[in-house]
Amino acid sequence: MADDPENSVDRPTDDGDAGKPEKMFTLKKWNAVAMWSWDVECDICAICRVQVMDSCLRCQADNKRDVMGRQDCVVVWGECNHSFHHCCMSLWVKQNNRCPLCQQEWSIQRMGK
């Protein structure tokens, strides 16, 4: 009981809480760094054999990224949860509407953005 008043006196507080003791260290600002990547099971696009984080071969060759941003080279997932470059898959399904890995009927589950 005697200790409590001492703490109050020793540690002046900026907060409105009169009775609450002030902490020794308070976090005020945090400059954080986070690395984003596609949430995929396999890093490699099975169609063009390039990592999904990079543009596909055709976009790299055409240097389309500068003009169209990253839209066409985002990742696309099928219902089977296999993922490819959207560019690569768009061309693939024109010939064969099946997943190149598991041969299931291709249906887009979601697209990265």
The residues of the shown chain that bind another protein, judged by CB under 8 A, are 11, 22-40, 51, 53-54, 63, 74-75, 77, 110-113
Residues 6+ apart with CB under 8 A from 81: 41, 109
| Least separation in angstroms between CB 38 and another protein | 6
- Closest separation in Å from C-beta 51 to another protein: 7
CB-CB contact of 12 with 5 (8 Å): no
Rounded least distance, CB 12 to another protein, Å: 8
Choice between 63 and 95, CB closer to another protein: 63
Q: Is residue 42 within 8 Å of residue 83, measured between CB atoms?
A: yes
